[in-house]
């Protein structure tokens, strides 16, 4: 596909979960646009590998952080501001899911783990970034959600609830921050071909059943998510806020 330019030169972006998958490609594209990028992940070895692959030099900062811990989030944004002086863009990309039985049969600890990693961490990061952006008078917050937040799916109940929470968080923050020239949006893809979702799409029978629900006739690729996310980070989206953009090949049309 043709590479689209978003004019992000010298912008400072934080990408959570930036050591692999969608987050890694977001960081790569942001660096290619001339942005300064901070990525976080829970494991230092993953960050070290990403740093080698990205080759961002002085424009790349890696910070080990668990976004469901406030102190780690404070460290992430503190180090980013100390290194680059500001934060213009936050992309909330961290997500995790555990296949779960019905809600009534799921242990509370599983609920807590999924909600904390997906929703609570997004709240902590968005709140911290928004405080810095308010001081600056501008900013962009983009969250990677999921069409699982639109309707129930077997085995993905808690994950769907968390993603639905991210979508309402997006709208609430957009309303609260609009007068500060901070735009808050989300991208909600259907299943994307990443390592995260490999247990599903790597099974040919499951893959074919999922594709039957997508009018476009295929699963989403990483680039299908990265490009609209970058657009929402760009000046072209200055008058777009509080939106959840479905990137789903038409799967939610019905």
Distance of CA 65 to CAs 22, 98, 128, Å? 18, 21, 14
Q: How far is 245 from 75, CA to CA, in rounded Å?
A: 30
- Annotated catalytic residue: which of 6, 123, 124, 159? 159
Residue 123 is among the residues annotated as catalytic for this protein: no
Q: What is the DSSP string of 87-129?
A: --EEEE----------GGGS-HHHHHHHHIIIIIHHHHHHHHH
Q: Are strands 182-189 and 244-247 parallel, antiparallel or unpaired?
A: parallel
Half-sphere exposure of 76 (CA within 13 A, CB side): 34
**List of residues 6+ apart from 28 with CB closer than 8 A:** 53, 54
Q: What is the DSSP string of 8-43?
A: -TT-EEEEETTTSHHHHHHHHHHHHTT-EEEEEES-
Helices (H) and strands (E) in the chain, counts: 9, 7
Residues marked as catalytic: 159
């Amino acid at each position: 596909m043709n590479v689209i330019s978003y004019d992000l030169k010298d912008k400072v972006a934080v990408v959570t979960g930036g050591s692999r998958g969608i987050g890694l490609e977001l960081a790569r594209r942001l660096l290619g646009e001339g942005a300064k990028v901070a990525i976080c992940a829970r494991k230092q070895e993953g960050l070290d590998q990403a740093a080698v692959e990205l080759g961002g030099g002085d424009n790349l900062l890696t910070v080990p952080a668990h976004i469901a811990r406030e102190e780690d989030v404070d460290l992430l944004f503190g180090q980013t501001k100390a290194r680059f002086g500001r934060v213009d863009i936050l992309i909330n990309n961290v997500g995790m899911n555990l296949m779960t039985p019905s809600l009534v049969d799921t242990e509370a600890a599983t609920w807590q783990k999924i909600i904390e990693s997906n929703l609570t961490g997004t709240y902590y990061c968005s709140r911290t970034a928004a405080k810095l952006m308010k001081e600056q008078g501008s900013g962009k917050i983009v969250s990677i959600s999921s069409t699982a937040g639109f309707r129930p799916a077997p085995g993905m109940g808690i994950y769907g609830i968390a993603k639905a929470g991210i979508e309402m968080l997006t709208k609430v923050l957009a309303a609260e921050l609009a007068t500060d020239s901070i735009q808050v949006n989300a991208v909600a893809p259907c299943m994307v071909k990443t390592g995260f979702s490999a247990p599903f799409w790597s099974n040919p029978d499951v893959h074919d059943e999922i594709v039957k629900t997508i009018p476009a006739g295929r699963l989403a690729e990483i680039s299908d998510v990265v490009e609209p996310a970058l657009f929402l980070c760009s000046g072209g989206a200055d008058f777009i806020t509080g939106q959840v953009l479905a990137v789903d090949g038409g799967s939610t049309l019905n």
